[in-house]
Amino acid sequence: MLKGFNVWRKKQFVRLAAGMVACACGISLMGCGAAGGAGKNSGSSGAGGAGNSGGAANTAAVNPGDDYHAELKLAHIMPIDHPNGLGAEEFARLVKEKTDGHVTVSVFPASQLGNEKEIFDAVEIGSIDFAIIGFGEPAKKYQDIGILDAPYIAGDREHLVRILNSDVVYSMFDEMEGHMGAKGIGAFYYGARYLTTKDKLVSGPEDMKGLNIRVPDQKLYIDTLTAMGAVATPMAFSEVFLSLQQGVIDGQENPLATIAANKFDQVQHYLIKTEHIMGANALYASTKTLESMPEAYRTAVLEAAREASAWIDGKAFEAEDTYIEQLEANGMEVIEDVDKEAFREMTAYIYDDFDQELVNKIRAVE
């Protein structure tokens, strides 16, 4: 069973009991914010899914004959064919399968319901049930979780996945609820972040001076690119392509999947292998949504989250291996001769912002 279930279950027992009484009285809980069919109008229901993850069986504790039903919403900012977008559909498929259709999840991709901040704010108040975003927004209220975005935290992508699946990370997910109205229920590889520019070849910190580089509006990203020597420029993701095209910014940094899916190769020439952040994303759930569910359905959703996360890892690995060839074929010049050690040294002070016991625990994951 998933890490943290028992601890979380004990913490929520009293509130869960009340929710189950309400359910027994015939209340059909339609999911926070899903009433009125909002999830049906423009979101994908995940029917057919993003593929098959091995035909997971329905969770045994779910009773196909009961009258509990919930229609829930998941939002993210990526295109539907991005690994995150495909993973969202896979999560929806798994939830439907594991709950025998009693719980359905409609997926709203490509910033349909807002940017990362707007989506996460909505998850906290329960008007959106699930979100796939990074760690930056949650870190504004719970700083510890931001360590997963710290520069050069993992040696490679396999190492990062081991960190994401560790007890350390799932303990932090449990702790989140003490700081906000949401918790992480799955984490997965997003991709090593590459720098892109239109005109400036970058091979070390000295080449970064004066470059306006778009970053997410989150402290750790701003601090990291500033430490690397750039002028870090926060900007909503939906504005990036046009800003690159018009020369408002000189470059941006993102994983290969994001660079390819959003066609940044059309407005950038250099693809620079800084790999300054070994990026990850997470699937977050509204506390209100989780508390509204009978235990068996909540367990099924949490199981689906872990399985979908592993599915996304595989999809992201597979896709990443093809992206460089694709971007090169589209005209980008790949710069592999990068002084990563210099960048590592320049960004090392960022770890001073975190609890050193936590830093040591993360670094102990092999």
**Tens of pLDDT, residues 34-73:** 333 333 335 776 544 333 333 444 555 788 778 999 999 9
Number of domains in the chain: 2
185 and 245 belong to one structural domain: no
User: How large a percentage of the chain has pLDDT more than 90?
Assistant: 76
Query: Does 162 lie in the same domain as 73?
Result: yes
Look at residue 46 in the predicted model and tell me its pLDDT: 54
Regarding whether 159 and 207 lie in a shared domain, the answer is: no
Q: What percent of the chain has pLDDT over 70?
A: 84
- pLDDT, one tens digit per residue, over 264-306 is 999 999 999 999 999 999 999 999 999 999 999 999 999 999 9
CATH label of the domain that carries residue 171: 3.40.190.170
Per-residue pLDDT, averaged over 241-265, amounts to 95
90 pLDDT band, cuts 50/70/90, is: very high
Other Cβ atoms closer than 10 A to 325 = 10
Same domain, 353 and 251: yes
pLDDT recorded at residue 18: 40
Residue 2, pLDDT above cutoff 70: no
Tokens 């960048």 belong to residue = 343
Question: How far, CA to CA in Å, does 330 sit from each of 61, 243, 325?
Answer: 50, 20, 9
**CA 43 → CA 28, 37, 71, 104, 134, distances in Å?**
21, 10, 12, 12, 21
Residue-wise pLDDT tens digits, 132-186: 999 989 999 999 999 999 999 998 999 999 999 999 999 999 999 999 999 999 9
Q: Are residues 213 and 178 in the same domain?
A: no
Pairing of strands 270-272, 182-197: antiparallel
Q: In this structure, are 184 and 197 located in the same domain? A: no
Range of the domain at 83: 5-190+280-319
Do both 284 and 273 map to the same domain?
no
pLDDT at 54: 39
Looking at the structure, tell me whether residues 200 and 293 fall in a common domain.
Answer: no
Backbone angles phi, psi at 71, to 5 degrees: -110, 115
Describe the chain by its helix, strand, coil percentages, rounded to 5.
50, 15, 35
**Torsion 282-185-55-166 (CA) sign:** positive
238 plus 225 within the same structural domain: yes
The 8-class DSSP code of residue 42 comes to S
pLDDT score of 250 more than 80: yes
Mean pLDDT of 204-213: 97
- pLDDT of 109 above 50: yes
Answer yes or no: do 220 and 358 share one domain. yes
What's residue 271's pLDDT?
98
What distance in Å separates the CA atoms of residue 245 and residue 74, rounded to the nearest whole number?
A: 30
Helix (H, G, I), strand (E, B) or coil at 241: helix
